[in-house]
Structures are given as C-alpha cells and as structure tokens.
C-alpha cells in the first residue's frame, strides 16, 4: 500500500538514482506530500530538495542516515529536522565521507585481485556528484556481466563477509546522536530488523540502551521487514514509548523493488501524529 508520506529516501547525493529535485517531483506525482531526504552520511542534497518542495508543494524534512559502528548486524540512525549548516554536524559527516573515500580504492583492489576488471573511474561515472557507495560498484559489475543483479553482486563480492568487502570507519552511536541533537534534530533508529538481534527480548534491551542514549524513535514500518515483523516492532515501540516512524528507503533504480511511500500494509499512524510527536521531543532536547 502507498501512503502519503515517506520518512526515509535517498537521492544521488548518496546512492539513490534520482536527483533531489526529481525525487521531490516523483513524490508530488505519487501523492507523497511529506518527504524526508535521508541520504547516507550527507546533507548535500537537502537544499535542492527544499527548493523543489516549495515548487511542487511537497513538505520536505531535512535529514540524513548515519551508519553506526555496530555488530552483529547493521545500525543506521536517521536524523530529522537538521540545521544543515551546523559545524559539528558538518565535521562529523566529513569524517565519514573521508572514511568512505579511503575505502573505495581498496574495494577496487580487492575486486581486481579476484580477477574482476573494474576501475574507480568507472564506478565514479555511475555515481552522483558527491558520493560513491557499494551500489555504484554493483551497477558497474552487473553491466559488465559479473552478476545478474545488484543483490547477486553483494552476495558474491560486496556484502559483509564476501571476498571484496572492505570495512570503513563508522561513527560511534553517542557521537552520531550528539551531532544530530547539536544540529537541532532528533535521532531515530532506521529499519530495526537489520540489527539482526536474536529475539524481541534482545531488541527490548538494545532499544532501551538507544533510548537512554537519546534515540527518540523507531522506524517501525519499512521495506526490509515483512508485515508480521512490522507489527512486532510496532508493539515493542509502543510498549517502550518510542516515536513510531515509517519510511521506504527509496533509492530509485538502485533498489527497483522499493516504491516511494510503501513500507507496509497496516500502518496505524499518520504523518501529522509523527510530526507532532517529533516536534514535542525537539522542544525538550
């Protein structure tokens, strides 16, 4: 089902395929009237998205999605309502961008050592102006016939544990939260299922820790989870008095199965309720 809002989207300022302006245009055409731009580790697409929002009548929320140092799974924290010009936010995001730039040539080396013919220039050519990510490597490898789709490239080469995987420095949780709060924003745990914890008791413990650290919400409804997982996290978020948010993680052609505004079937929360609870928290922080 498609809803009239989406709080988790990527443009080509990170690894989405649409420019920020075209993403907002697509939102308007799709009936998505509130859109948060949450590019990986950057806010560089936000001002274009805000301008487009005024043009197309879409309410654009300035955001980002920060990768956190965590195991066993993947922890991403979304920041919303950020002051993009905040110096601490900029410094923290620059740290991560540098780590990414240092990592990418190492992935090329690993791929070359595996006999894969690829250069960083080829990867940069399919990326946007600012940021090269693993999905861009995947695009080139699919084109060259090393795999039939993005997922197969990740499984064969790029996923954590695969032979061309190369870790990059990530921010610790407390630093990411401090950056978000320092820039006037609120921190929300994205797609909880990717933490890969064993059961709901472990989630209860971990989310308790996140809450103590300043995370105020959980992206309960998202495209990584099936409907029953969505409903299980909904129950847990309510029990733990966390703000319930929803987002698709739209990437355009990079993730062709994910549609804007689609993150579940039964979503018993409206965008007005979400924004109201976020604004209440912002006043308190």
Interface residues with ligand AMP (CB under 6 A) are 15, 40, 133-135, 151, 154, 159
Q: Which of 75, 84, 18, 90 is nearest to 209 (CA)?
A: 75
Residue 159 interface partner, choices ligand AMP, Zn ion, Fe ion, none, CB cut-off 5-8 Å depending on type? ligand AMP
- How far is residue 235's CA from residue 244's CA, in Å, rounded to a whole number? 10
Task: Please say whether the beta carbons of 233 and 217 come within 8 A.
Answer: no
Give me the residue whose beta carbon is nearest to Zn ion: 15
Strand order from edge to edge, sheet including 243-247:
5-9, 34-37, 59-68, 75-80, 186-189, 215-222, 243-247
- DSSP-derived secondary structure for 1-28: -B-SEEEEE--TTTT-SS-HHHHHHHHH
**Which one-letter DSSP state was computed for residue 246?**
E
Residue 154 interface partner, choices ligand AMP, Zn ion, Fe ion, none, CB cut-off 5-8 Å depending on type? ligand AMP
Binding span for Zn ion by CB under 5 A among 9-17, 20-28, 161-169, 191-199: 9-17
Residue 76 interface partner, choices Fe ion, Zn ion, ligand AMP, none, CB cut-off 5-8 Å depending on type? Fe ion
Residue 39 interface partner, choices ligand AMP, Fe ion, Zn ion, none, CB cut-off 5-8 Å depending on type? none
Q: Supply 234's token pair.
A: 């909904």
Does 39 engage in binding with Zn ion (CB under 5 A)?
A: no
216, containing H or E segment: strand 215-222
List residues bridging with 217 in a β-sheet: 188, 243
CB of 94 to ligand AMP, least distance (A): 16
User: What string marks each residue from 12 to 31 as x (binds Zn ion by CB under 5 A) or -?
Assistant: ---x----------------
Q: Supply 242's token pair.
A: 């966390």
CB of 74 to ligand AMP, least distance (A): 7
Pick 116 or 189: Cβ nearer Fe ion: 189
How many CB atoms are located within 10 Å of the residue 81 CB? 18
Pick 118 or 133: Cβ nearer Fe ion: 133
CB of 212 to ligand AMP, least distance (A): 27
CB of 153 to ligand AMP, least distance (A): 8
Binding site for Zn ion (CB under 5 A): 10, 15
């Amino acid at each position: 089902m498609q809803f009239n809002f989406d709080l988790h989207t990527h443009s080509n300022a990170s690894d989405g395929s649409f420019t920020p302006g075209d993403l907002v245009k697509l939102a308007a055409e799709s009936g998505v009237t509130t859109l948060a731009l949450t590019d990986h580790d950057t806010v560089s697409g936000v001002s274009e998205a805000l301008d487009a929002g005024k043009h197309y009548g879409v309410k654009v929320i300035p955001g980002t999605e920060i990768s956190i140092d965590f195991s066993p799974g993947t922890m991403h924290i979304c920041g919303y309502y950020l002051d993009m010009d905040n110096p601490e936010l900029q410094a923290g995001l620059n740290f991560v961008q540098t780590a990414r730039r240092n990592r990418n040539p190492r992935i090329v080396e690993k791929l070359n050592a595996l006999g894969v013919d690829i250069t960083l220039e080829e990867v940069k050519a399919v990326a946007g102006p600012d940021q090269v990510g693993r999905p861009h490597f995947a695009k080139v490898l699919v084109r060259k016939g090393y795999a039939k789709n993005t997922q197969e490239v990740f499984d064969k080469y790029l996923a954590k544990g695969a032979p061309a995987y190369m870790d990059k420095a990530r921010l610790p949780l407390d630093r990411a939260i401090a950056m978000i709060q320092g820039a006037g924003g609120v921190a929300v745990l994205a797609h909880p299922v990717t933490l890969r914890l064993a059961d709901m008791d472990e989630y209860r413990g971990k989310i308790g820790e996140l809450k103590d650290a300043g995370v105020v919400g959980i992206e309960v409804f998202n495209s990584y989870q099936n409907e029953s997982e969505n409903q299980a996290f909904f129950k847990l978020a309510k029990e733990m008095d966390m703000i319930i948010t929803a987002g698709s993680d739209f990437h355009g052609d990079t993730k062709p199965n994910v549609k804007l505004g689609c993150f579940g079937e039964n979503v018993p929360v409206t965008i007005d309720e979400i924004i109201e609870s976020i604004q209440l928290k912002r006043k308190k922080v």
